[in-house]
């Protein structure tokens, strides 16, 4: 599912995601995150990730076992993380 909503992401000392809050649930990263390349800024496009920088793809799991893959990107202009995709 493609999204474009703010999420809370916690990073470790190397800047790698370790936790995320999505839909009121806390997820812990349960695999090795993969770097997503930066998205070029194009003022003419309506693509939901336009203007966002690089990001991460990772699998994360709740304490109850709900497991998903998340794509998150940093909106540096707003200094916030944006969820651009999630997959079950």
Q: What is the pTM of this model?
A: 0.82
The region of weakest confidence among 6-10, 39-43, 60-64 is: 39-43
Question: pLDDT tens digits, residue range 50-75?
Answer: 556 679 999 999 999 999 999 999 88
Residue 17 is assigned to a structural domain of this protein: yes
Mean pLDDT, residues 33-50 taken together:
63
| pLDDT surpasses 80 at 31 | yes
- Evaluate whether residue 73 is within a structural domain: yes
Phi, psi of 16 (to 5 degrees): -100, 135
Q: How far is CA 77 from CA 31, 48, 52, in A?
A: 29, 15, 9
Looking at the structure of the chain, the number of domains it has is 1
Residue 25 structural domain: 5-35+53-87
Is 42 a domain residue? no
In a domain, 22, yes or no: yes
């Amino acid at each position: 599912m493609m999204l474009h909503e703010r999420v809370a992401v916690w990073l470790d000392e190397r800047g790698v995601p370790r936790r995320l809050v999505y839909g009121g649930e806390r997820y812990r990263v349960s695999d090795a995150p993969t770097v997503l390349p930066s998205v070029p800024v194009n003022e003419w496009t309506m693509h939901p990730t336009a203007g966002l920088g690089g990001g991460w793809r990772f699998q994360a799991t709740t304490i109850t076992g709900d497991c998903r893959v998340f794509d998150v990107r940093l909106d540096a202009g707003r200094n916030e993380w944006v969820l651009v995709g999630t997959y079950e």
